[in-house]
Amino acid sequence: MGYREDERDKALEQVPLFVADPVQWPDGVRTVGIDELNNLGIDREGVLHWNGRVITLEKRLTLSFWQKISAVIVTAAAALVSLSTIIQGLAAYSTWACPMGLPSICP
């Protein structure tokens, strides 16, 4: 996917190029040189490799105590709502099925 010149200018205005500031990087981290780019590779599944090793990024989701409590309450409420919906459906079916002689729980 290439850009026409006017599209490229518009794209750069919307999302400008990012220039890294190596001064803010941790100690021991440096830029990659042109001669080192042959260490970068990609396989048939689109997995990125550096010097033959897979490059992995992990983002973990951690919830605070109150977020966990809220998740439990919402899950319990959803379970109660689904249970009450099933019971209401069975009651409505029985009201309809009993007079018609269909299998149901008739009073």
Q: How far apart are CA 16 and CA 19, in angstroms?
A: 9
pLDDT in single tens digits along all 107 residues of the chain: 566 777 877 877 787 777 888 888 889 888 888 888 889 888 888 888 998 899 988 888 999 999 999 999 999 999 999 999 999 999 898 888 888 888 887 77
> Please, are residues 86 and 94 in contact by the beta-carbon 8 Å criterion?
no
pTM: 0.45
